[in-house]
Structures are given as C-alpha cells and as structure tokens.
Structure 1
Amino acid sequence: MATEEEKKRNLARINAMIIYGLEKGLWDLLGESALAMSATVGVGMLEKLEQTMGLEIAGEEPQDILTEIGRIFVDEIGIAVKFDITTTEDKVDFVVEKCVLLNVEKDLVAAGVKPFMCPYL
C-alpha cells in the first residue's frame, strides 16, 4: 500500500495526465481555435479561487489581484515556488519558478500543442 507521500505524488501524476489529456484532446479537436478557450478557462479558475481560496476581485486593482493569485498558487496550493509580476503600460510579465506543471506543458509543446490552459496564462 502506498504511503501518504506516495499518494500525494500519485495524485499529482494523475492530475497531470488529466490536464495533458484534456488539453491535447481539445487541441486535436479544435486546433488553434482552442487558444480562444484561455479566457474562459481563466474566468472559471477565478470563480473557483473566489469561492474556495478567498480571492477578492471586485473593486481591487489588477496588479493586486495578480499578486494575490501568485501568492495563492505558491503559498496555498504549491504549484510553484516563486511567482513575480512586473507590469508596464501595455505588458505584464510573469516569472514562475519550478512550476509543477512545467513537464506537462513541455510534453504538450513537443506534441505540437500551443499552451492555452496554463493557470499562469
């Protein structure tokens, strides 16, 4: 029987497989049209972050929202070890270190899929 640590690793593996399968399947069905799903996926994620993680969006500055999302991803969920944002007038740059989904994204890119469901998009 698996230890609790092994179960956590196996859960992360199956979640990565699900993400890979969903993203690859959508790409195979829709091609580049799948890129249009990023905004819809993002809206759904924001709704869940509000409901389950206490994220507050209404009346907040975009920079503050992004900073809090990064904090949640790093401190509460553990999807990465670092998340930094820099903004200019018309550009937002993200620096994400050691994202646990990086290998999934690499596998998708190797399979010809342009990333469109990464939580940082």
Structure 2
Amino acid sequence: MITVHRRLDVVYMADTNARAIGDTPDTSGLDPNKVTKKLDLAPAKELAAAGFHHIGHQDPTPTVGHGDDKLAYRCDRIHTTLPAEWITGYGVEFGGDHLSDHRPVWAEITFGQTAAGR
C-alpha cells in the first residue's frame, strides 16, 4: 500500500517489477504465468492515485528485457510529487547492459524552475 504524501515534495525510485501506465510490452512466445505479475498496473495506479507522476512517462525506453529475460518494459522508474516543470532532464542509462539485466534511470531536477523560466 502506498502512503499518501499530499503537500510534500517526494521522489520515489523503484524497481517495481510491474509495468508503467501506457506500456504494452510484446509478450509473444513468453510464458503467460511468468509475465502476468509483471504486467500488473496496480503499483503504477496506486502511485498515481497518491499524487505521484512518472518522471519518464514520455520515454518508452524499456529498462529490462535486454538480457536473457525477453519481456521488455519500464520496470525501473522514478515517480514524484514535485511540479512537472522542475523535471529538467530524464534518461535511461545503457552503459551497464553487460553488468545487469536492469538499466538505471536518472532525472535532473531544478528546484523552483517555472515554465516561464525555461
């Protein structure tokens, strides 16, 4: 269960082992029993209901599925209650594919940034 953090500035980073809202990963040829949990939208919906937004929502780059596990989706995500205009950068790191089956995500946050200040 997610605790509601209304009126607080929170950044939440996690390997959710569940897909992001809007993800439609290709499950062709995969065991449905193994992918069912990973296709669950409940964690993303709970975060959204608690006032969090997914920082990388516009970037469809999968963070898993490049190794032995062929289910490619955005498992590793950053959610926040910070104003969207404070998010001034986001990306998925590809440099460690040989080290992990997960790709780290990063975000640049410029506190106090306003839409007019861009």
What is the TM-score of this pair, normalised by structure 2? 0.27
What is the TM-score of this pair, normalised by structure 1? 0.27
